[in-house]
Amino acid sequence: MRYALLAALGAVLAAGFVSAQPLDGTEQPEVNAEVMASRAAAQQFGKTLKEALQQAIKSGGPANGIVVCHDQAGQIAARLSEEREMLVGRTSLKVRNPSHTPDAWESAVLKQFEARKAQGEPVNQLEFFAVIDDDQGQKTFRYMKAIPTVGLCLNCHGENIAPEVDAELKKLYPYDKARGFKEGDLRGAFTIAKPLP
């Protein structure tokens, strides 16, 4: 579904950068508005998913959290995308679900995040945005906000995963690569795209 929506945005990958800076108050007002809306969408997605995961883990353990993530994360992203009229999702350099594989722009931003983290920037403050032209000449706003690995993540994404959790992961995600993380690592990023008028 994520790639069907991206295709509708018009082959954003072939584009060149028009603007790519952190928000400092000097960008055009419509870009500032898109950054603020994207930050809010990423925050809402993260908060809603975290609350659902915490509740599921509390009621049925970490294996239950996997089912919630599998069944509800996509629904949350789809609802936010519709409500906010933008494409909202998650991606990573080590994906659990192949449909969340980063496109070329997202991959480059994730690698930039890793480099910035290595230089000492806190993961929870990493963000990047750009206005790019797609192959149809449509300007599209793209935004990414890093997702840091926290203690809750380690149940399913850490180095030592419990056998029952491992079994559930293998059942629901046979192509899982999202393991081996440590607290403080860059787990992935929220990713947002919106065509501009």
Asked if 35 and 131 touch (Cβ cutoff 8 Å), the reply is no
Region 127-144 average pLDDT: 87
Question: Is residue 57's pLDDT more than 60?
Answer: yes
d(CA 156, CA 39) in angstroms, rounded, equals: 26
Is 0.85 topped by the overall pTM?
A: no
Question: Is residue 136's pLDDT more than 60?
Answer: yes
Give the model confidence (pLDDT) of 159-187 as tens digits: 999 999 999 999 999 999 999 999 999 99
d(CA 67, CA 63) in angstroms, rounded, equals: 7
Asked if 130 and 103 touch (Cβ cutoff 8 Å), the reply is no
Structure tokens at 51: 């609350």
Closest CA to 91 of 79, 72, 104: 104
Asked if 17 and 132 touch (Cβ cutoff 8 Å), the reply is yes
110 pLDDT tier (thresholds 50, 70, 90): very high
d(CA 170, CA 69) in angstroms, rounded, equals: 14
Q: Is residue 117 classed as helix, strand or coil in its secondary structure? A: helix
Percentage of residues of the chain with pLDDT beyond 90: 67
One-letter amino acid identity for 196? L
Q: Quickly count: other Cβ atoms within 10 Å of residue 69's Cβ.
A: 20
Question: Is residue 12's pLDDT more than 70?
Answer: no
Sequence-distant (6+) residues with CB within 8 A of 164 are 61, 62, 63
Computed over every residue of the chain, the mean pLDDT equals: 84
Looking at residue 67, its pLDDT comes to 86
**Per-domain residue ranges of the chain:** 2-11+27-195
